[in-house]
Amino acid sequence: MRSQRPKPLHRLCGRPMVLHVLDALAELDIDRVVVVVGHGAEWVGRTLVDHAPKNFSLELVTQHEQLGTGDAAAVGLTGLLDDATPADDQGGDVVVLPGDTPLVRPPTLAALVRHHRERHAGATLLTADVDEAGGYGRIVRGKDGTVVRVVEDRDASSEEKTITEINTSIYCFRRSLLAPSLRRLRPANEQGEYYLSDVIEVLSDAGYGVEALVVADPMEAAGVNDRGQLAAAEAELRDRINERWMRRGVTMWDPERTYVDADVQLSTDVSLLPGVILRGECTVGEAAEIGPESTLVDTQVGERAEVRNSVCVGAVIGPGARVGPFATLGPGAEVAPGDTVPPFTSLGGDAGRLHADPTGTFGSDEPTW
């Protein structure tokens, strides 16, 4: 990413990438989630503690040496251990996801686990069929169609590189098989790393069934490794967010020019005009109208309020209030119910609460414009 910020903390629709991955676990019956951290561990850990979903137990473990995905999985298992039971004897299943695949959907992970259990598999991979497979591990199947191994792109032969079914690096493993399989890995590759994908061949050679579930939308498997891929993922997530809100009764005049962050909350009959940007933890009340060309950040808007061509940051706008056009509301600004903020007005900081006096003129407790 060419950034001091750890990759998992780069934001998509206002939310760190790794939190989108954790959100995708929402439909699974989870005992515990372990996040393996390395570069920027303290920063990542602090973000997870403050913002991760609260409906499951979260454990952080550190991979001190970057020895590959197989080593990371082995480190991660230490966070799942029950002190009373050896690792090889513990039941249940383990789902493994990379921290840079923020587009995977909760129903897809639920389907992966369901398929894994229905087939009594030792491991099940989420795979995708793509036109351009360069850079991804290829799925190698046996004559009977079962998965026998995964070959990484840089280690693949010319023939193997023609395979279009790719590994998404999202797995479901039978827990009792994972630890002993990881101990059999050897770094016999160009990078000298322990590949988690090599566990598939270990299990297949040992006679355990290895299944693959092909994801219907290959975009769910897209990883984020640079700023271009970050922008592509952002566009996909914004389309999903906009579609979800429109299905819930929000009007968007031009969805292609409407930007709504993941933590924004909208009520029914809200109208968003072209050029609206809602960032952070905005809330917009029923039948409010925002835009055109308005940016709101961490702002509360009451029902039936209107905001025209304005910028509002950390403000509170009461029900039925009118703001703008060309107004600026800063942190702490409050607009009382039914008030009007005239064009080219600035309010914020210590400016206080706006109100209308009995004569109908516009005033402020501490005017600053």
Same domain? For 329 and 211 the reply is: no
Q: b/e for 213-223, b at 16 or more Cβ within 10 A?
A: bebeebebbbb
Domain contains 240: no
Q: Per-residue pLDDT for 177 more than 60?
A: yes
- Mean pLDDT score across all residues of the chain: 91
Spatial contact of 17 and 7, defined as CB atoms under 8 Å apart: yes
Q: Compute the average pLDDT of residues 144-155.
A: 92
Q: Where are the alpha helices (DSSP H) in the chain?
A: 17-23, 41-51, 69-77, 106-118, 175-183, 198-205, 227-247
Domain contains 239: no
CA angle 157, 154, 12 (to 5 degrees): 135
Single-letter amino acid code for the residue at 231: A
Tokens of 344: 């080219």
Same domain? For 202 and 316 the reply is: no
Same domain? For 282 and 185 the reply is: no
Same domain? For 318 and 360 the reply is: yes
Same domain? For 180 and 328 the reply is: no
Domain contains 226: no
Task: Say which CATH number the domain at 297 has.
Answer: 2.160.10.10
pTM: 0.88
Domain contains 288: yes
| 77-115 pLDDT per residue, tens | 999 887 555 555 568 999 999 999 999 999 999 999 999
Domain contains 356: yes
| 17-50 pLDDT per residue, tens | 999 999 999 889 988 999 999 989 999 999 999 9
Spatial contact of 129 and 217, defined as CB atoms under 8 Å apart: no
Same domain? For 191 and 103 the reply is: yes
Same domain? For 203 and 266 the reply is: no
Spatial contact of 221 and 104, defined as CB atoms under 8 Å apart: yes
What is the C-alpha to C-alpha distance for residues 261 and 205, in angstroms, rounded to an integer?
46
Domain contains 121: yes
Q: What is the DSSP string of 247-302?
A: HTT-EES-GGGEEE-TT-EE-TT-EE-TTEEEESS-EE-TT-EE-SS-EEES-EE-
Q: CA quadruple 170, 174, 176, 182: dihedral positive or negative? A: negative
What is the C-alpha to C-alpha distance for residues 302 and 281, in angstroms, rounded to an integer?
14
Domain contains 238: no
| Residue 272 dihedral angles phi and psi, to the nearest 5° | -115, 115
Same domain? For 117 and 159 the reply is: yes
Where in the sequence is the domain holding 138, given as residue range(s)? 7-221
Tokens of 336: 């009382």
Same domain? For 253 and 196 the reply is: no
Same domain? For 183 and 270 the reply is: no
Q: Which of 221, 239, 261 is the last residue of a domain?
A: 221
Spatial contact of 351 and 366, defined as CB atoms under 8 Å apart: yes
Tokens of 51: 């913002």
pLDDT above 70 coverage of the chain, percent: 92
Spatial contact of 48 and 18, defined as CB atoms under 8 Å apart: yes
Spatial contact of 304 and 321, defined as CB atoms under 8 Å apart: no
pLDDT of residue 87: 56
Same domain? For 182 and 55 the reply is: yes
Taking each helix axis from N to C terminus, what angle separates 198-205 and 175-183, rounded to the nearest 10 degrees?
A: 100
Same domain? For 154 and 303 the reply is: no
Q: Which of 186, 221, 256 is the last residue of a domain?
A: 221
Non-local (6+) Cβ contacts of 267 within 8 A are 284, 285, 286, 287, 288, 303
Task: Say which CATH number the domain at 183 has.
Answer: 3.90.550.10
97: how many CB neighbours lie within 10 A of its CB? 19
Number of domains in the chain: 2
Domain contains 228: no
316: how many CB neighbours lie within 10 A of its CB? 18
Q: Per-residue pLDDT for 345 more than 90?
A: yes
Q: Per-residue pLDDT for 357 more than 90?
A: no
